[in-house]
Amino acid sequence: METLKKSLERIKSLKKRTKIILGIILIIVIIILIPILKPKNPTYETGIVERGDVIEEVSANGTVQATDEIDLRFKTSGTIERILVKVNDQVKKGAYLVSLDSGTIYSQYLQAQASYNQAKAKLDQLLAGTSSAEIKVAEQVLENARIALDDAKDKAENDLSRDYSSALVYLVSASNKCNKALTDLDDIEKSYFYDSSAITKTFKEKKGQAEEVFYGITISNTKGAQELAETAIDDPTHANIDLALSKMWTALQKTSDALEYTKTAMSDPSLRSTVSTTDKTTVNTDATDIDTAFTNINTSQTNIADQKITNQININTAESTYNKAKVDLDEMLAPPRGVDIAVYQADVDRYKANLTEYSKKLSDASIIAPFDGTIAKIDAKIGEVVNANEKVIVSLISPEGLQLETDVPETDISKVSLIDLVTITLDALPEESFPGEILEIDSSKTLIDGVVYYKVRILFENDDQKIRSGMSGDATIQTDKKINVIQVPQRAVITKNNQKIVRVLNGDKIEERKVVTGLRGSKGEIEIISGLIEGEKIITFMKNGNK
């Protein structure tokens, strides 16, 4: 009986332990399942809405080749106004070779620049929304106006320098012709005007007046036109050239007066029979040459004076734009509405297109030497009307020139233009980069492994002895650039219901914000035209099965 009682107590004790063990197991299972069953918060990466430059680039690889001779064409249509070189001339890189009449285009460019600046300022002010942001926008507009003013001044200086360069050429020619004419008059004097007659006295007076102006007066140490021309050649400042032109104008006038009197005197009955045909021809030829030189000098002075007036008008226009931008700095605008943004953006796009068009036409109105070389051919006449890319105007030889011939795929070729900035890196010189200039974009396609490409030839802007023909390299072409704009990583922008969305993080809450995007950068950034404010926190990547 006692044994049975002990057995029952052991059974009760075993059941109690089992319950405790099962309870412990249940607690452990619950602890394990809680984090598994608990709803998970999404994990994500974040970023900040920032301002910066958005740059679109196209990359292409190619091979370095020698540039023996290149043909230069006008990239726009117009009337040839200046031909500044001759065949066999040695020219330096950047020298102006042939120019079209660009006065109308430049006026249109200034008008387009002013319109674009105004439209961009209004849009930026509309999007800013706060006083501080508005001030930043207005300051940028002011900076753009300052750059436009600097560009106007630079163009004015370049145009005036071209006129002075032409004047210097005419000065040299006029000095030579004047010196020859006065030398010939010395010979004429010895042959016919050696007596004390009134005709001889007048001849000597007129010849002496011409010599005083041209050679100068030794006694009073007054410089003549010849010496002033030589000074202008040695030190071609505008002041030296102006002084030489003025003196040469007078010298040519006096020399022409002396030659005309000589022709009249030779026809006098007292001398007519003694004057040789050769001497008459010499005097007539000198008179014609002096008249031509006088016309050229007079034209040079007129061109310089007219250019100064044109420059002042253009600079005044740019200054007006600059002054208006300063006034606009303090203006305030209401927060933007979607409809207002669309209207202002349309204006900006329209004026930007006009500005780009006139800027390109302006740069295309001159043929400029892309490197040091020799003029091999000129096929142009002043006053000739030429069409864009129709014919070769100048051929330039440079046996030392190098170019990178690249293949750009058809998906990118529409973005590339002749005015784009280019940076070249070579496989053999990986630590260095070289600036380049696009010389030519082939209009015909090239098939490589079934893919359509277009050849783009890029000239190395600077000579570098380390670059060799046959080297392979890559060209990075900057096709577009937006300065100081709102930008985010491209991966932050998603498409939802055919609309572009950026997820904005406000504390623990996620807000889906509609945005209007602009230029896509080559480094993964994208311009935000509207919808975000600088400094906002955004989601760039979400792990929970989302982007």
Highest mean pLDDT out of 339-343, 396-400, 430-434: 430-434
Residue 41 or residue 122, greater confidence = 122
In the block, residue with structure tokens 């064409």: 73
Mean per-residue pLDDT of the chain: 84
On the question of pLDDT at 310 being above 90, the answer is yes
On the question of pLDDT at 432 being above 90, the answer is no
Rounded to 5 degrees, φ, ψ at 61 are: -105, 160
Q: Which tens digits make up the pLDDT trace of 131-148?
A: 677 677 788 888 898 999
Task: Please state, as a whole number, how many other Cβ atoms lie within 10 Å of the Cβ of residue 447.
Answer: 8
pLDDT, residue 334, reads 46
Residue 388 or residue 79, greater confidence = 79
Q: Side chain identity at 310, as an amino acid letter?
A: T
Closest CA to 165 of 230, 95, 88: 95
What mean pLDDT do residues 425-449 have? 84
Residue 343 or residue 12, greater confidence = 343
pLDDT, residue 4, reads 52
On the question of pLDDT at 372 being above 60, the answer is yes
pLDDT, residue 545, reads 47
Q: Quick check: pTM over 0.85?
A: no
What mean pLDDT do residues 173-200 have? 93
pLDDT level of residue 69 (50, 70, 90 thresholds): confident
48-57, 335-344, 435-444, 472-481: least confidently modelled range: 335-344
Bridge partners (DSSP) of residue 56 are: 480
pLDDT, residue 38, reads 52
Distance of CA 104 to the CA centre of its chain: 18
Distance of alpha carbon 108 from alpha carbon 102, whole angstroms: 10
Q: Which DSSP symbol is given to 40?
A: P
Distance of alpha carbon 163 from alpha carbon 296, whole angstroms: 12
3-state secondary structure string across 306-374: HHHHHHHHHHHHHHHHHHHHHHHHHCCCCCCCHHHHHHHHHHHHHHHHHHHHHHHHHHCCEEECCCCEE
Distance of alpha carbon 529 from alpha carbon 516, whole angstroms: 5
What mean pLDDT do residues 530-545 have? 81
Q: Which tens digits make up the pLDDT trace of 237-267?
A: 999 999 999 999 999 999 999 999 999 999 9
Bridge partners (DSSP) of residue 367 are: 98
Q: Side chain identity at 146, as an amino acid letter?
A: R
169-173, 218-222, 481-485: least confidently modelled range: 218-222
CA distances from 443 to 14, 283, 452, 453, 455 (A): 95, 58, 12, 10, 8
What mean pLDDT do residues 343-369 have? 81
Closest CA to 314 of 159, 162, 164: 159
Q: Which tens digits make up the pLDDT trace of 489-529?
A: 988 898 988 889 898 988 778 888 999 998 888 888 899 99
What mean pLDDT do residues 337-354 have? 81
On the question of pLDDT at 333 being above 50, the answer is no
What mean pLDDT do residues 213-218 have? 86
Question: What is the percentage of the chain residues whose pLDDT exceeds 70?
Answer: 88
What mean pLDDT do residues 140-159 have? 90
69: left (phi > 0), else alpha (psi -120 to 50), else beta? beta
On the question of pLDDT at 367 being above 60, the answer is yes
